[in-house]
A and B are shown apart, each in its own frame.
Chain A
Amino acid sequence: MLARALLVAAIAFASAMPAAAQSWDDVLARARGQTVNFNAWAGDEKTNAFIAWIGEEVQKRYGVRLNHVKLKDTAEAVTRVIAEKAAGRDSGGTVDLVWINGANFLALKEQKLLHGPFADRLPNWRLVDTVRKRSNVIDFTIPHDGYESPWRMAQIVFVYESKRVRDLPKSVPELLDWCKRNPGRFTHPSVRNFLGATFLKQALYELAPDASVLQRPATDEAFAAATAPLWSWYEALKPTLWRQGRQFPDNGPAQRQLMNDGEIDLMVSFNPSEAAVAASTGLLPDSVRTFTFSKGTIGNTSFVAIPYNAAAKEGAMVVANFLLEPATQAHAQDVRQMGNFTVLDLDKLAPADRKRFDELPRPAALPSNADLGTTLLEPHPSWMTRITAEWERRYTK
């Protein structure tokens, strides 16, 4: 039924004009009645609930129906767009909006499979912090050129069980020492998962002889030279991990479940408010707290992008713009909701909107901006791809 509607929409919009030629009113008018298939990783209930809330709001305000296509991995959506391209379906595609960044974005952008540029045409784009939050415009070293629109920030932090952990490891070498003292009480998500790979990238940042090479595409020589200390560190770390490093949780939420079950005492997270949010909903004990490494941790931005063949491009743009509304961003940052730090520049907001952020609750497990320290830029996507491949090569037996 849904697909038939999409096919009809596809025919109707086969001759849709490029975004640039449309006024925002045109976009709103065309968007009304559209169904937007939002392909988004669905492993986190809080985020799912937030997306459901977005769906209710855009339906109410703009008559746009949002369908959350729940992904286990963003790569599924990328595959789908590529498969549609291969099958010659250049319009009426089934992915209208996709939660994306990094390698997945690069893959689609390089193959010219994205609609746009559209992000800088969104009315709320002017509120985005493009100066202090550079990751809003530079996605894993790639300027996004308006082919994706930001919606939430992420930064590596560590969450610990304060009842059992006293001595916090504040650097990558200290983490190894901590694990040696507390064998089996730390793990990281599978390196096939973005969080697991990011954990290794974080370690690489501190261990690489020259971290600046990470901002350029990885070559064979650069990769070998930069990662040699990483692998010797990891060789020492692995046997001290949960299950002696022979098994890993599939993803972040699975790792959090281990923490909630008391199987580990320390975990890596990509969301500074994860501990606070999870504790408030019983997904972690109330005694969890958050810290980061003293030399800073990797931060990035989550974006939404529109595939070139999307059937509901206008509806997708309306959703992307709504994600940037100050009220939406404040709702997203509320630890009782999703608890993700905003992409907006608070100084650009009207006083009433600014107040929404000032009035948000601040539980004990939530770090302050000062606690978070320096944000390190993501390395070029090729580093992640290579780290994942090298890890698989070394440790799949």
Chain B
Amino acid sequence: MDDADHGRVGAPLHEVADGAALGAASTRRSPRRPTALVIVPGITLAAFALPIVAGLAGTLLPAFGYLPAIGGQSLSLQPFLDVVAWPGFATGVRITLASGLLATLLSVVCAFGFCAVACSRPWGRRAAAFMAPLLATPHSALAIGLAFLIAPSGWIARAVSPWLTGWSVPPDVSTVGHASGAAVVLGLLLKEVPYLVLMIAAALNQLPWRERIAAARALGYEPVDAWLRVVLPTVYRQVRLPIYAVLAFSLSVVDVALILGPANPPTLAVLALRWFSDADIRFYFPAAAVATLLLAIVVASIALWRGMEMAVARLGARMLERGRRGGAGPRLARLLAAVVVATFVTTLLALSGVALWSAATQWRFPHAWPAGFDVATWQHRLLALAPAAWTTCKIAVSATAIALALALGCLEYEQRRLSRSALPALRMMYLPLLVPQIAFLFGIQVLFVRAGIDGATPAVIAVHLVFVLPYLFLSLADPYRALDPRYARTAASLGASPLRVFAAVKLPILARPIATSCAVGFAVSVGLYLPTLFAGNGRVATLTTEAVTLASGADRRIIGTYALAQSAFPLLVYLVAATLPAWWFRRRRGLGA
């Protein structure tokens, strides 16, 4: 539920062995030994669960009228009554639900459609590799690019005007900011589809799906049909949590909705933010109530989704039993795959648009291209980003380093304890991705102000950790757990201490997944908007907060520069993560795999 990369990137997962082997291996290992690592899971749990629990409490109380500091002395339902009485409330709820559910539904069917068609083909694998860095682009940067692309005076309209359309001035129709929230759905689709495709690709690595397809083909099903019938039902179970994360994120997204969504009324998340930042302090109460309602909507939507899953599963099972070959499924899957390809093209165009703007001198409707480029001004614009870029880096590197230390500590502890079930609490790792950000960030802000640490970089890092940790942990856990235990056993039998085994054997072998998970963590941090805004109390300016602030109307050339830098940073880190380990261990060729 962050603004950036969800990318548990597929690449390192190629190395993952069948997860079942681990369970078998663990029972054969030596008896447990006490270790200092015992405190790490506790710290980790505290790092992501405490802020959420405390933050939720800090939001729920004012939602029910209790915040003595600003005169809310007793519990009441008044804030909710005020919210319901607000003229745009019903529409706001409708837009929120419609855009959130539709974005999720489309993302899910598109991602499965694409995988059904692409998974068994070589180009599908290449496409997945291409998607990973794409995922690193922050939502807000994509939304900024998309806004320019699809506006009535945007790039698409410019490209076909006036020679095709006859438009000498842009048509007076609504795209960006359309009252239905359609542009928000599109903006979410661009990010959530590649995320889910990569989740599915990662899950497939854990399944003997080729064998199943082969068996189905032998029974006369064509490959895409076979995938839909025998692979999808199993793989869906594996990506259920990521889908719920997409659902929760889509319902509560703020930055994308600010840039692409309607304003009067806006979605509930934007409404909550607007009221939280109102000069009139009494708006805190209805703002907290909206945030609480949003939490309830997310919970209810997940329940609804679960219900739909069961209904579809029952229906699907009946269809499977009927055993018909062919049908509309494969055709639909091919159509969806085409839609996914179209979203990639859209993403590339959106990013190209911001890149062009960043260096443009002038670019007016109906010209398809900028009037000119000015390298000197462009360099000047890039240099002006330096302070925000430095803050962004500092926060992202710190949060990623802490998250990596905690994740490695947890995983290593888990292996030495020889039990996967030793850490049931860490299964809550998905919590930050399922709770709407605004529902707990407000409470956190109040706590930080009380403690006098609001607006400080460490406060921002602490809140970033809540989101970086889960993504980093989830992307590192599978490769770590799948590491062949015989390496460690061999080293131990040669007299190496557990620490030495960890540092000299495990870390080098796992260098690539570690580097990738760091890139994921970095990208997540770079893209975070709302957490930075709230924990930084508006005073910690990162590339993302600046870009979203400027997106409301500033010079498009400067917005373009921010969006470009915002996308380039995580991309560069991905590149480094992809190449550095190989270079580092170039003498140990066997590790290159």
> A: which residues have CB within 8 A of B?
1-4, 7, 37, 42-45, 67, 69-76, 78-80, 82-84, 86-89, 92, 94, 103-104, 107, 164, 183-184, 190, 242-244, 246-258, 260-263, 281-283, 285, 392-393, 395-397
Specify the chain B residue showing the minimal Cβ separation from A262. Answer: B365
Q: Write out, one digit per residue, whether chain B residues 176-189 have a CB within 8 A of any chain A CB (1) or not (0).
A: 01110000000000
CA distance A252 to B172 in the complex (A): 19
A74 to chain B: closest CB distance in Å?
A: 8
Closest to B89 in A: A396
Beta-carbon contact of A3 and B455 below 8 Å: yes
Please tell me the number of chain B residues within 8 Å of chain A, measured between CB atoms: 53
Residue of A69, A248, A257 touching B539 (CB-CB under 8 A): A69
- Chain A residues with Cβ under 8 A from B178's Cβ? 247
Alpha-carbon distance between A194 and B550 when the two chains are bound, in angstroms: 17
Nearest B residue to A394, CB-CB: B87
Known A86-B69, A243-B172: A80·B456 in contact at CB below 8 Å:
no
Q: Knowing A78-B279, A80-B537 touch, does A396 contact B265 (C-beta < 8 A)? A: yes
The reply to whether A73 and B277 form a contact with Cβ atoms under 8 Å apart is yes
Q: Is the CB of B279 within 8 A of A262?
A: no
Distance between A47 CB and nearest chain B CB, rounded to angstroms:
10
Asked if B553 is an interface residue, CB under 8 A from chain A, the answer is yes
A397 touches B91 (CB 8 A): yes
Select A70's contact among B262, B364, B366, B549, beta carbons within 8 Å: B549
**Are A87's CB and B281's CB within 8 A?**
no
The one of A86, A243, A246 in contact with B70, judged by C-beta atoms closer than 8 angstroms, is A86
Q: Which residues of B contact A80 (CB under 8 A)?
A: 537-538
Pair count A-B, CB < 8 A: 154
Q: Which residue of chain A has its CB nearest to the CB of B445?
A: A83
Other than the given A1-B456, A3-B454, A263-B170, 18 more pairs (CB < 8 A) read A2-B456, A2-B539, A43-B552, A76-B538, A82-B281, A94-B454, A183-B172, A250-B263, A251-B552, A256-B553, A257-B553, A257-B556, A260-B364, A261-B364, A392-B87, A396-B86, A397-B87, A397-B88
Flag if B449 contacts A89 (CB, 8 Å): yes
A263 x B153 contact (CB < 8 A): yes
The A-contacting residues of B in range 78-112, CB under 8 angstroms, are: 86-88, 91
- Partner of A283 from the list B87, B262, B555 (CB cut-off 8 Å) is B555
B552 contacts A262, C-beta separation under 8 Å: no
Q: Does B264 contact A (CB under 8 A)?
A: yes
User: What residue of chain A has the Cβ atom nearest to residue B266's Cβ?
Assistant: A396
Contacts of A251 in B (CB 8 A): 552-553
Tell me the B residues contacting A by CB distance below 8 Å: 69-70, 86-88, 91, 151-153, 169-170, 172, 174, 177-179, 262-265, 277-281, 361-362, 364-366, 446, 449-450, 452-457, 459, 537-539, 541, 546, 549-550, 552-556, 558
- Indicate which residue in B152, B263, B361 contacts A263 across the interface (CB closer than 8 Å): B152
> In the complex the two chains form, is A247's CB within 8 Å of B263's CB?
yes
Q: Give the shortest distance, in Å, between A142 (CB) and chain B (any CB).
A: 15
B264 touches A396 (CB 8 A): yes
- The answer to whether A1 and B457 have CB atoms under 8 Å apart is yes
Asked if B449 contacts A43 (CB within 8 A), the reply is: no
Task: List residues of chain B with CB within 8 A of the CB of A75.
Answer: 277-279
Interface of chain B: mostly helix, strand, loop or mixed = loop
Residues of A with C-beta under 8 A to B153: 258, 261-263
Give the one of B86, B88, B365, B539 with max A CB within 10 A: B539
Task: Give A276 Cβ to nearest chain B Cβ, in Å.
Answer: 16
A-B contact pairs, 10 of them (CB 8 A): A44-B554, A45-B554, A70-B549, A83-B446, A247-B263, A254-B553, A260-B364, A261-B153, A261-B364, A283-B555
Cβ of B280: which chain A residues have Cβ within 8 Å of it?
107
Shortest CB–CB separation between residue B591 and chain A, in angstroms? 39
Given contacts A248-B263, A392-B87, A396-B88, A69 and B538 within 8 Å (CB-CB): yes
Report the bound CA distance from A281 to B556 in whole Å: 12
- A260–B365 alpha-carbon span in the complex (Å): 8
Q: Cβ of A92: which chain B residues have Cβ within 8 Å of it?
A: 452
Residues on A with C-beta less than 8 A from B555 are 45, 253, 281, 283
Give Cα A7–Cα B152 distance, bound, in whole angstroms: 49
CA A127 to CA B449, docked complex, whole Å: 40
Residue in A190, A249, A397 whose Cβ sees the most chain B Cβ within 10 Å: A397
Which of chain A's residues have a CB closer than 8 A to the CB of B554? 43-45, 253
| Bound CA–CA A190/B266 (angstroms) | 13
CA distance A256 to B86 in the complex (A): 31
Q: Is there contact, CB below 8 Å, between B539 and A249?
A: no
Closest to B555 in A: A45
Contact (Cβ within 8 A) B553 A252: yes
Question: Quick one: given A263-B152, A396-B264, are A184 and B172 in contact (CB under 8 Å)?
Answer: yes
**Minimal Cβ-Cβ distance residue in A for B283:** A79
Is A87 within 8 A of B279, CB to CB? no
Q: Which residues of A contact B539 (CB under 8 A)?
A: 2-3, 37, 67, 69, 94
CB neighbours of B553 from chain A (8 A): 43, 249-257
Chain A residues with CB under 8 Å of B364's CB are 260-262, 285
Q: Which 8 A-B pairs rank lowest in CB-CB distance, beginning with the nearest?
A: A254-B553, A3-B456, A75-B279, A253-B553, A261-B153, A184-B172, A86-B69, A396-B88
